[in-house]
Amino acid sequence: MSYINTFRGTAGAGSGEAGQAQDRFGRRIAIRLEQGSQELPHDISERLRAARVRAISQRKREAGVAMALPQLAAAGIGQQFGQGPGLWSRLASGLPVLVLAAGLVCIQALEADRRANEVAEVDAALLADDLPPEAYADAGFVQFLKSDR
């Protein structure tokens, strides 16, 4: 079996102009490989032939499996054998959303607590200090209270 015949058996995978360009490129490579394989010793050419046959059969098996899986899933055959989403997998898929929601609630509670503490500090400073009321109306007063004295 030559490289050219091997390539012709797998050609046609591309579509349109890009696919035709790939086919032409592949044919040119196959011709060059065929010419170069004429000069190789018999044992090396046999090993290359065996490797080529294995690669083609592996490629055909992969293509067959890739085509069969979507068809089985569409027919619902995978779910008949317990491969479909069960109760635990459905619960597990909802778990990240639940954890995210709980995290957001915790963050919101912590932020509300932090804001309440800031307001409490300002109120405590107002009650403990002997400042005139005009000082509390000053925009920079809150920053003054937050800063270390």
Token couple for 113: 């607590």
Q: Measured between alpha carbons, how far is 7 from 28 in angstroms, rounded to an integer? A: 10
Buried b (16+ CB within 10 A) or exposed e, 71-107: eeeeeeeeeeeeeeeeeeeeeeeeeeeeeeeeeeeee
Give this prediction's pTM: 0.33
pLDDT category of residue 73 using cuts at 50, 70 and 90: low
pLDDT at 44: 83
Task: Using the predicted structure, report yes or no on whether residue 12 has a pLDDT greater than 50.
Answer: no
Q: 34, 37, 19: which is closest to 11 by C-alpha?
A: 19
Q: What is the DSSP string of 37-105?
A: HTTS-HHHHHHHHHHHHHHHHHHHHHHHHHHHHHHHHHHTHHHHTT-S--HHHHHHHHHHHHHHHHHHH
Q: 128, 110, 112, 115: which is closest to 149 by C-alpha?
A: 128
pLDDT at 105: 97
pLDDT at 107: 97
Boundaries of every domain in the chain:
3-80, 87-146
| Interval 74-94 mean pLDDT | 66
Q: Regarding predicted confidence, which is higher, 106 or 80?
A: 106
Q: Regarding predicted confidence, which is higher, 32 or 141?
A: 32
pLDDT at 92: 85
| Interval 132-143 mean pLDDT | 76
The mean pLDDT value of the chain amounts to 77
CB-based contact 6:54 (threshold 8 Å): no
| Interval 83-103 mean pLDDT | 85
